Structure 1
């Protein structure tokens, strides 16, 4: 997704989420999986699962679902939508994720964000749709991963191990695109003395520091992906992956901010690439899954629980 993000972070964002939502849907009961993928493996699935919303009522054979959900990326292009809602049970509230056909979902044109404008992350509404019991799963099904030892690894690892990585990868591509755009602009710039800008120490330091930070973020994400693919105890790696993804996005924001500030008026051209990448990186950085505070708290709890030795 980082490679796609070098050209269009919005496309990378949608590609990452559509792939991830197929992974989520694979936790549904077998009957639902057959219903979703009976005609083709290439089924587009959008989702609005955080936070849960709407009204969910138990009815014979399943549930009745109504309500509104915000920021569902690529929903206009989806064939199915995963929606999270809370069921009130005698044991207390329980969060369920339900697969709803696109025909039962209305898309409201509400996405006017400064960054990631091309993701079409609009608001959705459902009005009394019936969802059969086999098209629902609990939130715990995603957090723990499949207990089936024969299932593919991507379905056995807990989803939080990879969730942040999916969101940060498009930002890595955007930062690389910003560096390329900044370099192209700066090659043509001259200092007040008439010298090429890249012969000036100020611009050289911007180039060196920003490129190093982007490379460092890439290494952090490679490490996180490696743990997701190969770690013997995936659940134990969740805090480390959360930490590395949160730090990576901080590095990317810092690097792109420096490039933008030193890019001059040409870098701010509304038709130029640099300002577009700058907006997109900041949009990714605002997502709840990549915030440093909760990631740091999870990592600190893990460290404190491990005896010093």
Structure 2
């Protein structure tokens, strides 16, 4: 294991880039790559040390994700998805956490809402449900899904962990972008889950910080997801722009026979894209670093800091899409072929923009906060 996570990512990136066509074609991460990811213990990078993880800093983790995304977005997406989700370990009692995260070859594939249903039974719960978009579930050691439990007049939302042997997978991942994430559906039917393999989301940050004080427990998981996926987007954008520049340096326009690297319109587009990329990165990474340092010092995150993370994450993803579109237009018909990495990056980016973390619908709530001091009614801030 390399103690320098960024250097590890830089060393791995060329091999990831070489595997990218296979990753897309097979719609999963190949075993040769998984061996390197597990050897670095990357999927437990944000798990508390007391539970067998590395307890890395979020900015350090994001920097590595960005480098991997420049090589292949699907790989970086799987790393961020499983890495950030693993912070849920802080909610578990030690016995349950040890059974799930003690294995060095550990990765969790989870499914977002809508939730399933669960009934209280002797020793635990009986769970039924189907969950979609479970990125990396093919190489995961556990699957996790939300379900609602009825307690009289009160409903409780809990996360349930299932061993891979107890779930049924459905290959529904027939998409044009992020194909390598293998984000299948999985389901269970009246599956018993012992109480130690489930956690409540009620007061989740309060519970986590009480057990494992620190920034990883204080910053809401949904915002860490957003910032990590923004790192994927901006790394992807850098890769797409690099592809376009490589094409433009040697391409001559088909009809007017003018070299692209001397075309004023192309030069303007390159200058604009580089500016947008620099601005997006300078909003994302310094903001996350500043908030991280402040939360480490204070032991808690403020509302204003949560707003800043949401702003940085969503803006960076959306600006990254603009950059990829510019790169795609610069390359012209060279970008449309399936064997072009720029075509893969274009498709990947326009799947990322459909994710909840990229929603422009966040902006009215942000505006209300700045204009009126109103706290947004959103679970994503």
- TM-score (ref. length: structure 1): 0.91
Task: Flag the structure with more relative contact order, 1 or 2, with Cα contacts below 8 A and sequence separation at least 6.
Answer: 1
Report the Cα offset of residue 149 of structure 1.
Answer: 7.1
User: Residues of 2 paired with 1:122 and 1:185: CA distance?
Assistant: 35
Report what 1:276 is aligned to: 344
- 1:1-309 matches, within 5 Å, as 1-40=65-104, 42-48=105-111, 50-144=112-206, 146-148=208-210, 151-191=213-253, 192-231=255-294, 232=298, 233-236=300-303, 237-298=305-366, 300-301=368-369, 304-305=372-373
Describe the SS at the equivalent of 1:46. Answer: strand
User: Residues of 1 paired with 2:287 and 2:204: CA distance?
Assistant: 19
Decide which moves more: 180-189 or 138-147.
138-147
Report the Cα offset of residue 228 of structure 1.
Answer: 4.3
Judged with a 3 Å threshold, the aligned counterparts in structure 2 of structure 1 residues 299 and 259 are, in CA distance, closer, same or farther, namely same
Does the aligned pair in 1 maintain the 2:134–2:183 contact within 8 Å?
yes
Report the Cα offset of residue 213 of structure 1.
Answer: 0.8
Describe the SS at the equivalent of 1:292. Answer: coil
Describe the SS at the equivalent of 2:324. Answer: helix
Report the Cα offset of residue 210 of structure 1.
Answer: 0.8
Judged with a 3 Å threshold, the aligned counterparts in structure 2 of structure 1 residues 228 and 130 are, in CA distance, closer, same or farther, namely farther
Decide which moves more: 193-202 or 261-270.
193-202
Describe the SS at the equivalent of 2:87. Answer: helix
Does the aligned pair in 1 maintain the 2:166–2:188 contact within 8 Å?
yes
Describe the SS at the equivalent of 2:71. Answer: coil
User: Residues of 1 paired with 2:292 and 2:214: CA distance?
Assistant: 11
Describe the SS at the equivalent of 1:43. Answer: coil
Does the aligned pair in 2 maintain the 1:158–1:235 contact within 8 Å?
no
Describe the SS at the equivalent of 2:113. Answer: coil
User: Residues of 2 paired with 1:62 and 1:188: CA distance?
Assistant: 64
Decide which moves more: 158-167 or 126-135.
158-167
User: Residues of 2 paired with 1:32 and 1:161: CA distance?
Assistant: 25
Report the Cα offset of residue 299 of structure 1.
Answer: 5.5
Report the Cα offset of residue 116 of structure 1.
Answer: 0.3
Aligned length: 304
User: Residues of 2 paired with 1:228 and 1:77: CA distance?
Assistant: 33
Judged with a 3 Å threshold, the aligned counterparts in structure 2 of structure 1 residues 302 and 87 are, in CA distance, closer, same or farther, namely farther
Q: Deviations over 1:100-120 (max 9, x none)?
A: 111111111110111101000
User: Residues of 1 paired with 2:195 and 2:107: CA distance?
Assistant: 21
Does the aligned pair in 2 maintain the 1:96–1:136 contact within 8 Å?
yes
- TM-score (ref. length: structure 2): 0.75
Describe the SS at the equivalent of 1:19. Answer: helix
Describe the SS at the equivalent of 1:111. Answer: coil
Cα-Cα RMSD: 2.0
Report the Cα offset of residue 183 of structure 1.
Answer: 0.7
Report the Cα offset of residue 78 of structure 1.
Answer: 0.7
Judged with a 3 Å threshold, the aligned counterparts in structure 2 of structure 1 residues 303 and 105 are, in CA distance, closer, same or farther, namely farther
Decide which moves more: 161-170 or 296-305.
296-305
Judged with a 3 Å threshold, the aligned counterparts in structure 2 of structure 1 residues 89 and 35 are, in CA distance, closer, same or farther, namely same
- In the alignment, structure 2 segments of 5+ residues that lack a partner are 1-64, 375-381
Report the Cα offset of residue 269 of structure 1.
Answer: 1.1
Q: Deviations over 1:203-253 (max 9, x none)?
A: 101111111111211112103421442124424211221112111112111
Judged with a 3 Å threshold, the aligned counterparts in structure 2 of structure 1 residues 303 and 89 are, in CA distance, closer, same or farther, namely farther
